[in-house]
């Protein structure tokens, strides 16, 4: 995507993975794509430079294996440790909702509400599906009202974007932001 278009339309955030990060405002991604980073590495502020080098929010993918096996204690510990390491930097926890049943989504929302994260996000964009209206609405219903929902994946046009916002999303994750705000369309993604 052309960064001039992102700036022209005042779109929110450009994300960076840990490698090559050299300060500056932005988003630090932790655990992409399946939450496989070791908790001991991810949750130590200042030890790796990841949490203390200017990010204005942190994305965390919790280990999907823990969620899928029902190890909610491990999920809670992971979110709480990274939340603590973030200090005053907002934490966004990324679900992979296309792989989860409604019970797992509800439980994950409860865990995020108990911890007090700033945002939850429907998907990483690396799996089999993206944000649906139903999932965005379900997450909104099962979260503390202070937690924002970011719908991500498969949002390629204004109609789809507005449907996710009407369902309760306050942010959208899309590579089609310029097309959406300018009324255009982008060809469908893999999902």
pTM of the model: 0.78
Q: Could you confirm whether 106 is annotated as catalytic?
A: no
Candidates 2, 47, 59, 92; catalytic one: 59
Q: How confident is the model at residue 97 (pLDDT cuts 50, 70, 90)?
A: very high
Question: Of the CATH numbers 3.20.20.70, 3.40.640.10, 3.30.1490.440, 1.10.1060.10, which one belongs to the domain with range 3-182?
Answer: 3.20.20.70
Q: How confident is the model at residue 117 (pLDDT cuts 50, 70, 90)?
A: very high
What is the per-residue DSSP string for 55-68?
Answer: -SEEEEE--HHHHH
Residue 27 CA, chain-centre distance (Å), reads 10
Check if the beta carbon of residue 183 is closer than 8 Å to that of residue 158: yes
Q: Could you confirm whether 185 is annotated as catalytic?
A: no
Q: Could you confirm whether 121 is annotated as catalytic?
A: yes
**Mind listing the pLDDT tens digit for each residue in 48-76?**
444 545 678 888 888 888 888 999 999 99
If you average pLDDT over every residue of the chain, what do you get?
78
- Domain coordinates of the chain in residue numbers? 3-182
CA distances from 34 to 23, 61, 66, 163, 188 (A): 25, 6, 10, 27, 24
**Mind listing the pLDDT tens digit for each residue in 124-170?**
877 888 889 999 999 999 999 999 999 998 898 989 999 999 999 99
Candidates 92, 101, 150, 185; catalytic one: 150
Outline where DSSP puts E strands in 62-188: 91-94, 119-121, 148-152, 171-173
Choose the most confident range, by mean pLDDT, from 14-23, 30-39, 110-119: 110-119
Taking the chain, what is the end-to-end CA distance rounded to the nearest angstrom?
A: 19
């Amino acid at each position: 995507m052309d960064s001039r278009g992102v700036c022209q339309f005042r779109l929110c955030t450009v994300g960076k993975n840990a490698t090559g990060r050299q300060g500056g405002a932005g988003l630090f991604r932790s655990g992409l794509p399946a939450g496989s980073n070791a908790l001991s590495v991810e949750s130590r502020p200042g030890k790796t430079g990841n949490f203390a080098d200017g990010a204005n929010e942190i994305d965390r993918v919790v280990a999907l294996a823990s969620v899928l096996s029902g190890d909610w204690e491990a999920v809670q510990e992971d979110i709480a440790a990274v939340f603590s390491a973030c200090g005053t930097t907002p934490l966004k926890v990324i679900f992979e909702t296309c792989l989860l049943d409604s019970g797992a989504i509800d439980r994950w929302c409860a865990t995020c509400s108990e911890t007090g994260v700033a945002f939850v996000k429907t998907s990483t964009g690396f799996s089999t599906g993206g944000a649906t209206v139903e999932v965005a609405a379900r997450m909104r219903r099962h979260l503390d009202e202070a937690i924002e929902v970011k719908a991500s994946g498969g949002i390629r046009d204004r109609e789809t974007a507005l449907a996710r916002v009407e369902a309760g999303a306050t942010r959208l994750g899309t590579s089609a932001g310029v097309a959406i705000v300018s009324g255009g369309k982008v060809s469908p993604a893999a999902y």
